[in-house]
Amino acid sequence: MTVPADAAAALRNTTAVRTRSATLLDRARSGESRWFTVDDDALVPAAADVAALTRSRFPDLDIPVHSRWRHFEAGGVDRRAALDARLGSADTQQRARAMIDLTVISVLLDAGAGADWGFVEDGVRYTRSEGLAVASWHAFAAGRFSSEPGEPMRVDAAALQALSAADLAGALQVDAANPLVGLDGRVDLLHRLGDALAAQPEVFGELGRPGMLFDTTSAPSGTVDAHDLLVTLLASLSRIWPAGNMIGDQPLGDCWRHEAIPGPGLTAGWLPLHKLSQWLTYSLIEPLRWAGVAVTGIDALTGLPEYRNGGLLLDTGVLALRDRADAGRDWTPADEPVVEWRGLTVALLDELAPLVRERLGVDLPLACVLEGGTWAAGRVWAQRLRDGLPPLSVLSDGTVF
């Protein structure tokens, strides 16, 4: 019989994400899904749509990885260069720690902002993911997440533990006229992050800095395996997610119940997805590379099960709701149709990606197909059909979507 710690560890890898998601796709194709049907004939035109958008965005097909750092480029502003300048005489390791600090905090703040929120920088209003990226960049640069005024550009446990809702609202320009979905959930998440950082000095150092991952992973050796980095993040940070998904005393994070998922022992019925943790892993690739570290095994990561990629599949007809009325209901991340939609998204992105590569005539990593890409195409379809809203309404606390 599996014990909770072993069961949780068995779900903290992308093999489990892929195989269990594929089970849901096989069921849906055989007509056994209660919620969705699959039209395989729609995969080719969907791939053509993604390929065409990829060529329009990156005519030379020199496509960067899908990363939070793309959002830091919003408005054509080179915020990496601005951060480099602010870091002054900092050495390579210090720069890497700072950029990892920023990446972690910004990714964890990157859940759906809602249609009414925006962040204004130099007279330009940024919304959604780009807005949250720009806002988090400014908050980081201003020392909002540092407990040491003399060292503003860092994130540490003490500052996160002391952060109030008013502090975060001020940093994100939130007020009655500029409401942000899930503000309290984000504050709670950052408090949990602070607690986790403080409790694990062997990973995050005595100050509890995310940036210490540069020192405590294999980065100093010059090579990091992307999947090993993800497993480190899942083992050390699964406790921060407030969803309450547990096996015994083991927190699972972005891992959800679905009655059709097989598995041994205590893992039966659980679908791991780990969207934000994988998004964070993708987003750490560039800071590590900038520090001279080779990042290997990137294709072990999966496509991200979020509403842009999943929306693309629904909007292009690859997936269809059995009951169209479900599109008009409000769902939670724990509801079975949402869990299944996300699992189907992971499995179908693995099938869509080679069709996109074939259309483009280049062997792109999945991370570049996403950036090129599926995420952008999902946003275009949502804007075209619903003024940017996703095809399913998922009530968010700011920590999953």
Q: What is the pLDDT of residues 284-326, one digit of tens each?
A: 999 999 999 999 999 999 999 999 999 999 999 999 999 999 9
The reported pLDDT for the residue numbered 3 is: 87
Residue 362 lies in a domain: yes
Tell me, yes or no, whether 87 lies in a domain: yes
Q: 75 with 82: CB under 8 angstroms?
A: no
Residue 398: which pLDDT band, with cuts at 50, 70 and 90? low
Give this prediction's pTM. 0.93
User: DSSP assignment, residue 105?
Assistant: H
Contacts of 287 (CB under 8 A, 6+ apart): 69, 96, 99, 100, 103
For residue 177, give the DSSP letter: T
Domain assignment present for residue 399? The answer is no
Percent of the chain having pLDDT more than 90?
89
Task: With cut-offs at 50, 70 and 90, classify the pLDDT of residue 239.
Answer: confident
Lowest mean pLDDT among 139-148, 182-191, 313-322, 354-363: 182-191
Total of domains in the chain = 1
69, amino acid identity:
W
Residue 47: inside a domain, yes or no? yes
- Residue 158: which domain range? 4-394
* Residues facing residue 178 across a β-bridge: 175
296 domain-assigned? yes
Q: Has residue 401 been placed in a domain?
A: no
For the residues of 129-176, what is the DSSP string, one character each? Answer: HHHHHHHHHHHHHTTTT-S-TTS-S---HHHHHH--HHHHHHHTT-BT
Q: With 90 as the cut, is the pLDDT of residue 243 above it? A: no
Q: For residue 214, is it within any domain?
A: yes
**Residue recorded with tokens 């010059």:** 222
Residue 336 has pLDDT above 90, yes or no: yes
